[in-house]
Amino acid sequence: MEKLPPMTDDGRKSRSDGVQSRERLLLAAMRLFAEQGFAKTSTREIALAAGTNIASISYYFGDKAGLYRAAFTEPAPKAHEDIAAFTNPDNTLRESLLAFYGQLLGPLKQGDLARLCMRLWYREMLEPTGLWDEKIDNGIRPAHAGLMLLLGRHMGITDIDGDDDLCRLAFCVVGLAIQLMVTRDVVDAIRPQLLDSDSAIDTWMARMVDYAVAMIGAEQARRAAAAAPPKSTPRKKKA
């Protein structure tokens, strides 16, 4: 698969009178890259779909690779800001989990943009250019570490790095949100009212916090049972 070059500082340019043109290019690029992949999508197609000229791609993004990188990364929330929000030690467990799910599921309120992001991520996983690996290293891995820190703090676990069960729990907690993100089209087909408004998405996030708290409680109970000394069986008296 074709690999993208590393990001450079001049990959993004902007001007006040070209914001709309740049946004049209990004949206057109997201749609076409998601449908066809990086290699099969031409800059001419993107410019035509955006109603602009090819030179604008060079002006705003440098080249096709720069445009692809922007389409893949810009709509996503900034990882360091999100991690700080849900790892705040002053937050309760529920407040932290709500912040965590808020940054994962908040984009669902953007409607078609969220769908485009997911489809572009699918395409990148199927036809990797190297950006998915960057996403894991620079976004997913730090967020997972932050979730482990959050869970460890609220469960009284100090050696979080060596705790495989805590890692499993973290994957299960985030899996509640990933499942919804991946199967949104299925939810829309079966029970569309569950995601048809901002308030419906807020309700889902609140329920997800409840489910996550229950999972955390179940893991704490499992650990407590495993750590408890075995009960001695009373001896039978001899007849």
CATH class of 79-227: mainly alpha
- 79-96 pLDDT, tens digit per residue, is 556 788 899 999 999 999
Least confident residue range of 84-88, 93-97, 207-211, 215-219? 84-88
pLDDT surpasses 70 at 23: yes
Residues 72, 198, 132: CA angle, nearest 5 degrees: 15
What confidence tens digit (pLDDT) does each residue in 112-161 have? 888 888 899 999 999 999 999 998 998 899 999 999 999 999 999 999 99
Domain ranges of the chain: 9-73, 79-227
- Evaluated on CA atoms 200, 205, 209, 215, the torsion sign reads positive
Sign of CA dihedral 8, 9, 14, 19: positive
Q: Is 68 helix (H, G, I), strand (E, B) or coil?
A: helix
Is the pLDDT at 18 greater than 70, yes or no?
Answer: no
Q: Which CATH number fits domain 9-73: 3.10.100.10, 3.30.470.20, 1.20.1730.10, 1.10.10.60?
A: 1.10.10.60
User: The whole model's pTM is what?
Assistant: 0.81
